[in-house]
Amino acid sequence: MECIFCNINDRKSEAEIIFEDEHILAFLDIQPVNYGHTLVIPKKHYDNFLTVPKDELDKITHATQFIAGVVKRSLNADGFNIISNNGQSAGQSVFHFHFHIIPRFKNDFSLRPAVKNYTSGAMHEYGNKIRSILSKYKDIYNG
């Protein structure tokens, strides 16, 4: 299947690449929230966060931390968002896993979603829902 990020990695499509190593590639987002908005991708194709093997994820996370620091410092940003959209409903538009690094400046924050409030007992219900599945998957977490 055609993937724009694989094409960028294979140099079949152009991008403003800022860093790469054996495992990851970082380049500027073509439609930045702020200038310098950077994407970090694994060189291998994985659809989303849940399908990236742990050792690869460790490398991507490590690189993202490093690059976020560099982006912040180089642009004199006040802060940054690290975002990963997973699934169409979450806003994912390129189905090759990536972290967004978005440099932020004083008073430019407009990403805050509308928040909900739990009705009485509902928070505990949601806790139970998540914990009941969690107990089935614990072995995966423990390796």
Query: Does residue 47 contact residue 96 with C-beta atoms inside 8 Å?
Result: yes
Nearer to Zn ion, 44 or 104 (CB): 44
Active site residue 23: no
Q: Does 28 bind Zn ion (CB under 5 A)?
A: no
Could you say which of 23, 45, 96, 98 is catalytic?
98
Q: Does 132 bind ligand AMP (CB under 6 A)?
A: no
Of 25, 13, 30, nearest to 60 by C-alpha is 25
Query: Does residue 23 contact residue 66 with C-beta atoms inside 8 Å?
Result: no
Q: Site map for ligand AMP, 72-91, x if CB under 6 A?
A: -------------x-----x
Query: Does residue 78 contact residue 37 with C-beta atoms inside 8 Å?
Result: no
Q: Does 123 bind ligand AMP (CB under 6 A)?
A: no
133's tokens: 């599945």
d(CA 143, CA 139) in angstroms, rounded, equals 6
Figure out which of the listed residues 45, 48, 56, 104 binds Zn ion, where binding follows CB under 5 A: 45
Binding site for ligand AMP (CB under 6 A): 4, 13, 15, 29-31, 39, 85, 91-94
The catalytic residues are: 98
